[in-house]
């Protein structure tokens, strides 16, 4: 028996506060879902609770824990079925939380978009996790739930219509509006810094199967959109999508963990649609150059320090409430089977992807993991959203988290008789 279903660790982070507000609004009575808030600073936790919306709520319990205090972490993890951690950059602060969850058989969800850290955790803790009851699910925010569950949904529809999976899937971000927080930027800069320190890391992360378990059996070359180009799926210009670096790795890991359900020659890529004609091409090239320029500047230490000081959001800062409400995303997945059947599905979100929508997604993921007997009885280990939740999250995400998953069209190829 545990005191809580979910403890939000890092509740005073920019995204943690949005998660706390979401839980206080939708799960305020603490009857069906018992949740608590945790962080390293009690004063900050107290002032967060004072700002929470519902007056009728049972006040959530507050727990103080610092990632540098193993005993406090273990005590916290022992009290809950699931730890929802937003304490990032994860490559800086995440490891002790993973370790404590495994030691206390608590399950875990996070928002990491740092493939190098996921890889290190897989290398160092897979064995211990598999000997525990802890189900650890990385990347339960905008990266990578829409991509991972979007592909899973497409494959379900493909089985339904064609009795076979799509072996080639292109994800296109058709429309998106949102911003970045201090923690997200810090995580990106952390990766750039680590790649500067360790030259072999760039090569390691360039492997699309870097997060797949050993003997995954996949070797097909994967496309990688590095610059603006014209796209045959959308008949529009596209540019690199910044989240593709993590999303594609998670989707391939899901395929591997699902027993190569999308086949061993599955091809997957992601891109951002920038528009039609000359304007679309120009936006595509500006996006390509902007992204390349940002990464190049971030890899030069003095420039990175200047950007951090004068331009980029600091820890605790991020898009305004208005921007979160007005944000959205609209993503299409274009799939094709080996026989030439085609299928298009669409995933949308009703708030800004990185914060409003992410807070809703990870909250529902944590609650589902805590409350579902089926998920609780899974073996311990590291999962992806699709390999853990499979189709169990589609209803909560659509009923509570403002997401939609829908089929747009399917066309069977003409068969030869």
Ligand X SMILES: NC(=O)c1ccc[n+]([C@@H]2O[C@H](COP(=O)([O-])OP(=O)(O)OC[C@H]3O[C@@H](n4cnc5c(N)ncnc54)[C@H](OP(=O)(O)O)[C@@H]3O)[C@@H](O)[C@H]2O)c1
Query: CB 259 → ligand X: shortest distance, Å?
Result: 26
Three-class HEC string of the chain: CCCEEEEEECCCCHHHHHHHHHHHHHCCCCCCCCEEEEECCHHHHHHHHHHCCCCCCCCCEEEECCCCCHHHHHHHHHCEEEEEECCCCHHHHCHHHHHHHHHCCCEEEECCCCHHHHHHHHHHHHHHHHCCCCEEECCCECCEHHHHHHHHHHHHHHHHHHCCCCCEEEEEEEEEECCCCHHHHHHHHHHHHHHHHCHHHHHHHHCCCCCCCCCCCCCCCCCCCCCCEEECCCCEEEECCCCHHHHHHHHHHHHHHCCCCCCCCCEEEEEEEEECHHHHHHHHHHHHHHHHHHHHHHCCHHHHHHHHHHCCCCCCCCCCHHHHHHCEEEEEEEEECCCCCEEEEEEEECCCHHHHHHHHHHHHHHHHHHHCHHHHCCCCEEECHHHHHHHHHHHHHHHCCCEEEEEEEEECCCCCC
Decide if residue 402 touches ligand X (CB under 6 A).
no
Residue with Cβ nearer ligand X (60 or 183): 183
Query: CB 360 → ligand X: shortest distance, Å?
Result: 11
Residue with Cβ nearer ligand X (17 or 81): 17
Q: Which stretch in 182-190, 200-208, 229-237, 266-274 sits in contact with ligand X by CB under 6 A? A: 182-190
Decide if residue 142 touches ligand X (CB under 6 A).
yes
Decide if residue 68 touches ligand X (CB under 6 A).
yes
Decide if residue 318 touches ligand X (CB under 6 A).
yes
Decide if residue 143 touches ligand X (CB under 6 A).
yes
Dist CA 391 CA 376 (whole Å): 15
Decide if residue 10 touches ligand X (CB under 6 A).
yes
Determine contact, residues 204/210, Cβ cutoff 8 Å. yes
Q: Which stretch in 81-89, 325-333, 395-403, 407-415 sits in contact with ligand X by CB under 6 A? A: 81-89
Q: Which stretch in 130-138, 140-148, 224-232, 399-407 sits in contact with ligand X by CB under 6 A? A: 140-148
How many CB atoms are located within 10 Å of the residue 52 CB? Answer: 18
Decide if residue 396 touches ligand X (CB under 6 A).
no
Q: Which of 4, 30, 84, 113 binds ligand X (CB under 6 A)?
A: 113
Decide if residue 178 touches ligand X (CB under 6 A).
no
Cα-to-chain-centroid distance, residue 101: 19
Decide if residue 315 touches ligand X (CB under 6 A).
yes
Decide if residue 316 touches ligand X (CB under 6 A).
yes
Q: Which stretch in 54-62, 63-71, 386-394, 400-408 sits in contact with ligand X by CB under 6 A? A: 63-71
Query: CB 205 → ligand X: shortest distance, Å?
Result: 16
Decide if residue 40 touches ligand X (CB under 6 A).
yes
Decide if residue 72 touches ligand X (CB under 6 A).
no
Dist CA 138 CA 251 (whole Å): 12
Decide if residue 358 touches ligand X (CB under 6 A).
yes
Decide if residue 120 touches ligand X (CB under 6 A).
no
Q: Which stretch in 146-154, 200-208, 221-229, 310-318 sits in contact with ligand X by CB under 6 A? A: 310-318
Cis previous bond, 181, omega within 30 = no
Decide if residue 182 touches ligand X (CB under 6 A).
yes
Decide if residue 89 touches ligand X (CB under 6 A).
yes
Decide if residue 360 touches ligand X (CB under 6 A).
no
Decide if residue 146 touches ligand X (CB under 6 A).
no
Q: Tokens at residue 364, please?
A: 């529902």
Decide if residue 87 touches ligand X (CB under 6 A).
yes
**Which residue is nearest to ligand X, using beta carbons?**
88
Site for ligand X in 243-272 (CB under 6 A): none
Burial 256-265 (b: 16+ CB within 10 A, else e): bbeebbbbee
Decide if residue 184 touches ligand X (CB under 6 A).
yes
Residue with Cβ nearer ligand X (16 or 335): 16
Decide if residue 39 touches ligand X (CB under 6 A).
yes
Q: Which of 4, 27, 90, 389 binds ligand X (CB under 6 A)?
A: 90
Residues that bind ligand X (CB under 6 A): 10, 12-16, 39-41, 44, 66-68, 86-90, 93, 111, 113, 141-143, 181-184, 187, 315-316, 318, 354, 358
């Amino acid at each position: 028996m545990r005191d809580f279903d979910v403890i939000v660790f890092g509740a005073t982070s920019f995204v943690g506060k949005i998660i706390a507000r979401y839980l206080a609004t939708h799960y305020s009575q603490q009857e069906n879902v018992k949740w608590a808030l945790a962080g390293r600073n009690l004063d900050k936790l107290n002032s967060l609770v004072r700002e929470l919306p519902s007056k009728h709520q049972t006040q959530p319990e507050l727990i103080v824990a610092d990632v540098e205090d193993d005993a406090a972490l273990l005590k916290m993890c022992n009290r809950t079925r699931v730890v929802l951690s937003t304490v990032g950059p994860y490559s800086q602060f995440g490891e002790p939380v993973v370790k404590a969850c495994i030691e206390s058989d608590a399950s875990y969800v996070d928002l990491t978009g740092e493939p190098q850290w996921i890889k290190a955790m897989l290398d160092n803790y897979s064995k211990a996790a598999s000997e525990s009851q802890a189900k650890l699910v990385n990347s339960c925010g905008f990266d990578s739930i829409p991509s991972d569950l979007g592909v899973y949904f497409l494959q379900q529809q493909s089985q339904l219509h064609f009795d076979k999976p799509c072996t080639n899937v292109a994800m296109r971000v058709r429309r998106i509006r949102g911003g970045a927080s201090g923690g997200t930027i810090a995580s990106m800069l952390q990766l750039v810094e680590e790649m500067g320190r360790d030259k072999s890391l760039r090569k390691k992360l360039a492997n699309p199967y870097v997060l797949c378990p050993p003997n995954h059996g996949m070797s097909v070359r994967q496309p990688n959109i590095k610059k603006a180009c014209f796209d045959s799926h959308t008949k529009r210009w596209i540019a690199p999508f910044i989240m593709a670096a993590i999303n594609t790795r998670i989707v391939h890991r899901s395929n591997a963990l699902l027993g190569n359900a999308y086949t061993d020659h599955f091809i997957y890529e992601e891109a951002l649609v920038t528009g039609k004609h000359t304007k679309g091409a120009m936006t595509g090239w500006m996006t390509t150059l902007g992204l390349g320029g940002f990464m190049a500047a971030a890899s030069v230490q003095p420039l990175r320090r200047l950007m951090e000081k004068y331009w980029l959001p600091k820890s605790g800062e991020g898009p305004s409430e208005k921007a979160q409400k007005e944000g959205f995303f609209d993503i299409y997945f274009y799939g094709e089977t080996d026989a030439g059947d085609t299928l298009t599905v669409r995933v949308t979100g009703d708030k800004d992807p990185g914060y409003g929508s992410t807070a809703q997604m990870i909250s529902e993921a944590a609650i589902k993991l805590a409350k579902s007997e089926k998920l609780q009885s899974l073996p311990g280990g590291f999962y992806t959203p699709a390999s853990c939740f499979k189709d169990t999250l589609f209803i909560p995400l659509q009923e509570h988290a403002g997401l939609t998953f829908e089929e747009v069209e399917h066309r069977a190829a003409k068969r030869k008789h």
